[in-house]
Every structure is written in structure tokens, then in C-alpha cells.
Structure 1
């Protein structure tokens, strides 16, 4: 156990030598990216970062003892000293008189007893949850690697949850019994590979020479493709234009063995995204699309087609890319049918070059937004990840939420039977990425099928992360093969 007296003496000695001190405190039950952002910000405020770790007897939500949490904190290079505190936290603050105390943004309007103490000696109380987006991404990833190697972190995850290969394989095998409905926008992704020639002599423009091009079914189409490739029986509802890209989408859906309910809309082309790439880097994207909502007659056609077979569906996936199909009117009517028939709903609303709207979905078994999408839905660009994710769970009435964080992995929130919001996280499994497009789709659909097969969110998130790592290792959207998941599970 940490020698508290010796630690206090060390801090006071360093202060006498002229070093400034920043103090933070908390449970730090399972260190996730939100904690790291907070701690990195705090470390920048002074020469030393001192963490007050709440004693487990005062931390009812802590599932690890003091020693385990203390060692995890001390493994972070940004943390200089850790003290186990209980009812004496304010006494410790008064004793060491930190130059700065940092608390999360969510405490800014609360009663903060530290304020009276720091005012007596001229200290500062700062409210911040750290860098909320990606300016510190490289440093965060470095801290994650230093805190715990991937194998060690996964070992602890194995200890907390049953993610043995045999157990996960049991759920994967159940995919073949699932009847799945996927609703969402079709996108045709085209990659034009180029040879980089150099800079134009006439103006500062990169000059390239086209080589070969590749087309893939993307958007909600690949979500349906993943589900079918993983063994589920899939019905896909979408809209497209009467054009060559629509014909290509229909061809790929047939190839993937998907029952497609496609409606043609004369007012829009099939959404097409063209990427010009050289040496595995995207130079330019050209998107052709319309974003207006589908009209009332089309909504009625989709509702009638869905309702006719709704009794057979085990789960419904809304894969919204915000190109007009999943307008509020259609989402509300389909959701009403699902609620009446007790069909679980999962939803994802992706934001890239267009504006997303995750807030139109309610009563969800799962949703998997990126951090940008979560913050956009809550209109919250300042609070920490934990606070934003809690608010989003409440807004959407979601049982499970996974905030995907790219290279930082995924933050998992689960509303348990006691109404408590549990938290855990997983690192990114991929060592390097060839093409990150579609990683979130692979995770989303795999997690949904795992939950529909009876897996816990912790098991679903683990297999979903495996699927995501497989997807980013290839160019373009290609359906995930179940055998590839088995192989990857065997390596972890």
C-alpha cells in the first residue's frame, strides 16, 4: 500500500524546492480516455501532478481495490504522486496547498468546498475536462501504451467479463438464426487510384495520373452486407436513383444474398462518393448526393413493406447516413411498430461531410456514435466524455452506448438492472490502418448481432472491436467474414 506520510513529505519537499503542484481527485476505477484527457490537462498546469485517489470504502462504484487503482495511476508518466484519501481530502489539500486544483467541467456550477481553502493562500480552482477532441491524440495514445500494453489490458478485460473464445464463438454461431432488418442510405464508394506526378508548374496544384478504379457498396448497404456475411438473414430497405450506381448497388446486394426492398426516387441520384488516392492516402473526395427527406408516398411504401414482415425480425438496425431516407416521419413510424412488437432497435447516425441527427432515435438497445456525433447531438462541446455519454444515454433512452474514439478505442456505457450506468473501455486492436472508412459500420453491426444473440454488451464490444480492426486492414468496404473474426480472436 502507498505510504501516505512519505508521499506527503515528498510533495512538500518538492514545493520547498520551488516546484508548483496541481491536485486532482477521483475514483479512477477503470482508466479510460476521458480520464487521460483530464489528467494530461491537469499535468500541464503545474510542475507536479498529485492525484488524490478515493479510498474504496468511500467509492461504492469502484470494482478494484486501492492498490490496483493506485498502480494504474502511477503507471501514467503524467502523474507524479498518488495519495489515497478518504474523509481527509480537504485536510490534505490544506496541508500541501496546491497551486492549482482541477475539477471536471461538470462541477463548475456545483458547491466546491475546495474553493474556500485555495482562496486562503492564493491558489486557483480550474474546471476543465481536458482536450475534448483530437489536438492531443498522439500524446493520449502514447499514454495509453505506457499505461498498459494491449495484451495486459485485454487480460484485465478477460478477468472482468467472459470473453473466452469458446463463449464468443457460441454467440457468433447464433448469427445464422437471426432475421435482421436494416434501414438506411445506400452509398456507392469509388476509389480512383492515382500515380502522384508532382506539383503543377502553372499553379500550386498536385498533379496525378489515374491508374485503376474500384467501386464498393457503402453506407447502410455495407451494414447489410456485413450482417449477411456474418450469417444473418437480412432484409434491406433503402432508396436509390435510376442510374448506373443504383444498378451497381442492386448487383452487389444480390451478390451478398440480401433481400432488398429498394424504392426508386426520381428526385435524387444514388449517393456516390469518389475518392482520389495515391500511396494509400486520400487526396480529394467528390460527393454526389441529395439530402432532402423522402416524400410521404415513399414513406408509406416503406412502412407497409416493413410491417408486412415485422413479426419475423429479431432486431432492427437504423444505419443513418443522413441522405434523406431516415427522416423523422419514417423513423417514428418504424419505431412505433418495433415497440408494439417488442423488436429491439439499434441506431447509428453518421456525420462526415453532412450533419447528423442521432436525436431522432429513441428507446435503443444500442447506439455507437463517434465523439463528434455524441457531442453534436447533446450540443455539448465542453464537458468530459463521461458526462456527455451519460446525458446521451438519458436523451435517447439507450440501454447501451459505445462512443468510438478511433485510435483511442471505444468507451462503453451500460445501464444495468439497478439503473446504474456502468463504464468500461477497450483499446483499438489495429496496429496500423490502410483505410479507416467503414470501421464504425463493422463494429456497429457486429455488436448488434452479438446482443441479439444474447451476449452482454462487454462481450459484444470485444467482438465489435475485432471486426473494426479487420475492416481497417483492407481498402474499401468489404463484408466481414466470420472466419476472419475467429482467426483474430485466436490471436488475442
Structure 2
């Protein structure tokens, strides 16, 4: 019989899943790769020949926790009846069933369905396929945060009041969109031909990064409206960015530049470690005609916003003349402005952002901007403040937390403090800085104290790095972290 052309190609696996183990996860991951949608039928307690050690509700919950499973349900029906009801493209069973009698085959033959045997790759790391629950992690340490809160008279009530006001804000983010791709796999050894690690890829995920995820964080944390201005290439990554940004409820003004690809960063990871990152980027400045088009759109948008965020990855979207014109517009319309300018594989200069309400460089970015490898943090912060004149400066220190420097121009004095990283064991550090900038900037816009703003930013960053991939931080999760930090 001719094979049916069923779209999407639905795959079904039916079983007890009594104690969920890596073998189950490998099988289900293999099954998902065989089609476009994986449905798992979990046998009820009554339908099992042997009494289960785990009740049907919990067995179903465990199956639903897997990223590879699109849909799962409890059933008392036989596999043949399930096939008759759903008419899947394929049924997948473990390799051990290949030499046995399989009654599903007759039901599948009625319409041309497939019976596929396979148990998945033994190298698969099961934990990679379990959905990360959007809740506070177990790696948080609030001991020093409590002392910081006491020093600066920060209370849960004050922070809750700040959070309640975020929905008043209209925000515009401008900078580079980056597409972050994660290739998860298992390192299987060293090549015999050359000294290269060999890995077997298990799954690939994509996330929006750069200015796009900063905009996503800001919207997810409660801002009333968020606009994103950026430039993308005429390529698949650019189309992905256009499609994905709509899911964040962010209004996008995206300009196309055919001379550059959309920045794509691919990370190859095994055992929760990144083995290699491949960047597909160009760093030349966008043409003057494109700068003019951007500025014309911004002239119409800026009078109606409360906050503008420069999310600069130094791939050419923000040449200095454009930056200065934007800052002038913001001053004219009394719009708060904050900036982050990254120096990683590329070279940036955070000091070119003058008169910001907040800048958040890393220690390395600060030293590069000042060409200063020698001075301590206090002197570095003071020198950068003298050069760029920010109202607030936070130097981010990765696993060591943040160093806060608040200049007082009237007295030619300043205040310093530090706050350690609140997450002791980050799953993925990507996005910590974006999340810190988003939460801190929003708080400053509703007239919180800088100390309250940076406390909130640190909580947001700790929540963000608790799961893999840079995705918009849930307002519920941040509110839970606020509550937990005062217990």
C-alpha cells in the first residue's frame, strides 16, 4: 500500500514508563527525530499487567517534563486502538521488540503507517532533554545580599512597589540582534588523526540574543511597550529573528543590510561545557544612508518613550555619529538613556557613551576603554566616570558579582559598594548582563534608588543563569526571587 503523506508526521510511543530512566529518554528522543510531532500514550494503572510503583498521574507528569514530547495522555486502550484513533505516520518501539510479534504492524498496514525500531544513542545525556522548570533554583546564596539590603535600607515592600510601577514604562532598545545556536552533544573521545575532540550532536536549539533578548527581558519584566530597532542580513538567521521577536510582544523596526549577515553564534556543548563557539559576523559600520533611515524613524519614536537602551555588540550598527545624534534627541525629550557596549571577540569602547543614566561594562571592557591594565577597581571606576560622565556605573565581575560606583558631581565625591553573584553555580552565564541591564534600567526609570535597582538587577541575573539559553525572564520568577531573598 502506498505511504500516506501525513503533515505533520505524527509519531506515537505507548508504554508504562514505570520509573523514568535514561533508556526511556533516549527512546523518546529518537522517536521525536523520526517525525514532526511526538505523542506519548501512557498506560493507566488499570491497564498495566503488573502494579506500578509510581501512580499514573506522576508517570504522566514525568513524560510531560521532557522537551522532546509534544503531547502526552493517559490511556487504557491497546496500542492497536490508539493507532486506529490517531493514524500516526509511525509507531516507535525499542530495538528489543524487532524480533518479537508486534500486533501494531497490522493496524499500521491498514493505511501505510510505519513501525520503527530504535533505542536512541547510548551517548545521549538524559538531563539535556528534561524541561527546565521556570522556578527559583537551588544554587542561590542570599547571605551577603541581606547585608547589602540592610546597608541601603532595601525592603521587600519597596521592591514590590518598584515592580508594580514597571507597567507604566515605554522603552526603545537599539543595537545588534544576535542569533545564538546551541548544538548539544556528547564528547565521545579524541580523534586518532589529529588532536581534536569528537562529539556526537543530540539536539540543536536557537535563541535570540543581543539587543533582541534585552528587549525581550524588558517586556517580560512588565514594561508597557517595547520597540526594537536593529539591522539584519538577508539570510535565514535574519528571518528567524523576524519570526521569533514577535513571540516576545516586542514591536520591531528591522532594517535589512545585504552587505552583512545577521550575527550568528553557534556553541558546541557537551556535559554542560562549551567546547567551541563559531561566530558568523561582520564588523564594518552600516552605511550612512542606513544611518539616516534609522535616525528618521527614531526621531518619530523617541518623544513617546521613557527609556532608551543602547545594546551595543560593536558589529557596526551603532557608529559614533548615530550614537551622538540619538543621545541628543533623548536629552531634548527628557528620555533616560542606558548603555552596554561589549568587548569580547570584538573590540568596543564603553567610554564613548557619554552622560548615560547607567553603563554596565565588565572589568575587561573598562580596562580596554581606559587602556589601563594596572589600577584597582575603585580607581578604574573613578577614571571611567570622569571620562564618560555616567550618573551610575556598575562594573560586572562575572562569578564575583558587581562593583557599584555612584559619582556625586556636586561634591566631587562618590559612593562604592559591591554585591556578590547570588547564583553560586550558573548553568549558562549567557544573558546575565542583558538581564541585569534590563531590570536595573527599568527600576531607575520608576525612581527607585540606585541600590534598589542594582539589587533587583542582581536577582534578575541570578535567575537568568539558572537555565540553559538566554530567554526572557519571567516576572513571576523574579518576584519569587525577591520574596525568597528576604526570608
The TM-score with structure 2 as length reference comes to 0.69
Instruction: Specify the alignment match of 2:399 in structure 1.
Output: 407
Structure 1 residue 469 and structure 2 residue 462: aligned?
yes
1-structure distance, mates of 2:141, 2:203: 37
2-structure distance, mates of 1:393, 1:365: 12
Counterpart of 1:460 (choices 453, 457, 465) is 453
| Structure 2 counterparts to residues 194-209 of structure 1, below 5 A | 194-209=185-200
CA deviations over 1:370-423 (Å, ceiling 9, x no partner): 000011111111011100100101111101000011111110011236442111
Instruction: Specify the alignment match of 2:231 in structure 1.
Output: 239
Query: Does the CA-based 8 Å contact 2:145-2:422 persist in structure 1?
Result: no
Instruction: Specify the alignment match of 2:370 in structure 1.
Output: 378
Structure 1 residue 391 and structure 2 residue 394: aligned?
no
Alpha-carbon deviation of 1:151?
4.5
Instruction: Specify the alignment match of 1:54 in structure 2.
Output: none
Instruction: Specify the alignment match of 1:433 in structure 2.
Output: 426
Query: Does the CA-based 8 Å contact 2:421-2:458 persist in structure 1?
Result: yes
2-structure distance, mates of 1:150, 1:475: 20
Instruction: Specify the alignment match of 1:265 in structure 2.
Output: 257
2-structure distance, mates of 1:385, 1:207: 41
Instruction: Specify the alignment match of 1:53 in structure 2.
Output: none
2-structure distance, mates of 1:445, 1:485: 12
1-structure distance, mates of 2:319, 2:471: 27
Choose 156-165 or 264-273, whichever is displaced more.
156-165
What SS does the corresponding residue of 1:166 show, helix, strand or coil? helix
Alpha-carbon deviation of 1:458?
0.4
Query: Does the CA-based 8 Å contact 2:181-2:204 persist in structure 1?
Result: yes
Structure 1 residue 223 and structure 2 residue 208: aligned?
no
CA change 1:222–1:400 in 2 (3 A) is same
Query: Does the CA-based 8 Å contact 2:141-2:424 persist in structure 1?
Result: no
2-structure distance, mates of 1:150, 1:415: 29
What SS does the corresponding residue of 1:316 show, helix, strand or coil? strand
Structure 1 ranges of 4+ moved more than 3 A: 149-152, 416-419
The TM-score with structure 1 as length reference comes to 0.69
Instruction: Specify the alignment match of 1:366 in structure 2.
Output: 358
1-structure distance, mates of 2:247, 2:142: 38
Instruction: Specify the alignment match of 2:417 in structure 1.
Output: 424
Q: Which runs of 5+ in 2 are unaligned?
A: 1-139
2-structure distance, mates of 1:207, 1:154: 42
Instruction: Specify the alignment match of 2:483 in structure 1.
Output: 490
2-structure distance, mates of 1:445, 1:278: 30
Counterpart of 1:280 (choices 259, 272, 276) is 272
1-structure distance, mates of 2:167, 2:271: 38
Instruction: Specify the alignment match of 2:51 in structure 1.
Output: none
Instruction: Specify the alignment match of 1:481 in structure 2.
Output: 474
| Structure 2 counterparts to residues 441-456 of structure 1, below 5 A | 441-456=434-449
2-structure distance, mates of 1:247, 1:241: 9
Structure 1 residue 329 and structure 2 residue 330: aligned?
no
1-structure distance, mates of 2:199, 2:147: 48
Query: Does the CA-based 8 Å contact 1:150-1:427 persist in structure 2?
Result: no
